[in-house]
Amino acid sequence: MTAILDIQNVTKLYGNEVALDDLSVSLEANEYISLLGPSGSGKSTLLRVIAGFEKPDAGEIFLEGTSLVGIPAHKRGIGFVSQSFALFPHMSVFDNVAFGLRHREDEPVRDEGEITRRVNDMLALVGLVDLGDRGVNQISGGQKQRVALARTLVADPKIILLDEPLGALDANLRSRMRVELRRIRQQLGITFMHVTGNEQEALTMGDRVAVLDSGRLVQIADPDTVYNRPASARVARFLDCYNMFEGRCEDGDRFVAGGSSFPYLPAEDAQAGPGIYCVRFDKIRVAPASEASRPGEVGVRATFITSEYSGPSIMYFFEGQGSKVLEVEYHLSHRQPDEFSPGSEYALLWSPGDALVYF
């Protein structure tokens, strides 16, 4: 694959605040990148620096090998879709999409036939063919999102940056738009970079997921790797799908947390000392407290509190030692939910090979 966008050692300061800290990353042509990180980690700043709305304090950005330094936002060939959509409220859907073609600084399109053809092509791509004459105040939130996208795409950008584009939509629409965005990107064959604070969204949408923490890139990999092998305990924490035990490694293959002690398969960098032991919600088996663990299993005792059903999966909440909340997830596509009785004690069991230990 070839890099379309190369971000090299970019730093952005706001006063004393380091929003981007010597960040380097390359985007490949024709890929979907999700940018994930907690609030304040620098995701929006990175998009704004790439788009040209903000100037980096250090570092350089190259688009297809050409430096973007000094090139204003509207001449970069980079599209930007914001959470608020920023449509012109008094104009029709068609005119909102046509606006950029008619009014751009360089070579505005004057031929109405060409405008109609290009706008209609984009409206068809985003599934709004029959709504061109509607005012943008007469369409739904999901449709506004599509107009915002069509308006950006009609300018033929090389890259589209999407800043929490689904944040304003309700859950149903959000999952429909996820599928749509991936389809549209595949049809156009251009690169999308999608900022989200939602780990599920990042993992389902991205060909690769880039994780930001305090203005630094802490991991970039395919979703499966990020999910199964987070680069650090902090990444595991943002993913919000790991139970985490703070404690100490002893003897190279034993982890002690509170009153519990788990054997683990030592990683290459295993060392005695403080560490964090992580086991994913969906890697845990719940058994009656009286049941003996199977050979090779480890676990803890915990009291069942409550469950939360969410269609494809069910989350069970337990209270372990020191009032620690432990979560267990069953994916219902391949098993039935279990009934546990609130207030009763159970054994939460897993295989040591499924645990991750960070130092």
Which residues are near ligand ADP by CB under 6 A? 14, 17, 19, 37, 39-45
Antiparallel, parallel or unpaired: β 260-263 and 191-196: unpaired
For the bound state, the minimum distance from the C-beta of residue 163 to ligand ADP, rounded and expressed in Å, comes to 8
Give the nearer residue to ligand ADP in terms of CB position, either 215 or 320.
215
Give the nearer residue to ligand ADP in terms of CB position, either 39 or 333.
39
Smallest Cα–Cα separation from 281: which of 334, 244, 332, 335?
244
Give the nearer residue to ligand ADP in terms of CB position, either 41 or 152.
41
Q: Do residues 7 and 56 touch, judged by C-beta distance below 8 A?
A: no
Q: Do residues 254 and 341 touch, judged by C-beta distance below 8 A?
A: no
Q: Do residues 305 and 358 touch, judged by C-beta distance below 8 A?
A: no
Give the nearer residue to ligand ADP in terms of CB position, either 2 or 16.
16
Helices (H), 82-232: 93-103, 112-125, 141-153, 171-188, 199-205, 223-228
For the bound state, the minimum distance from the C-beta of residue 177 to ligand ADP, rounded and expressed in Å, comes to 20
For the bound state, the minimum distance from the C-beta of residue 214 to ligand ADP, rounded and expressed in Å, comes to 9
For the bound state, the minimum distance from the C-beta of residue 43 to ligand ADP, rounded and expressed in Å, comes to 4
Structure tokens at 95: 């005119």
Give the nearer residue to ligand ADP in terms of CB position, either 44 or 145.
44
Structure tokens at 74: 């509207």
Q: Do residues 191 and 2 touch, judged by C-beta distance below 8 A?
A: no
Distance CA 127, CA 149 (A): 11
Query: Chain centroid to CA 193: how far?
Result: 10
For the bound state, the minimum distance from the C-beta of residue 15 to ligand ADP, rounded and expressed in Å, comes to 7
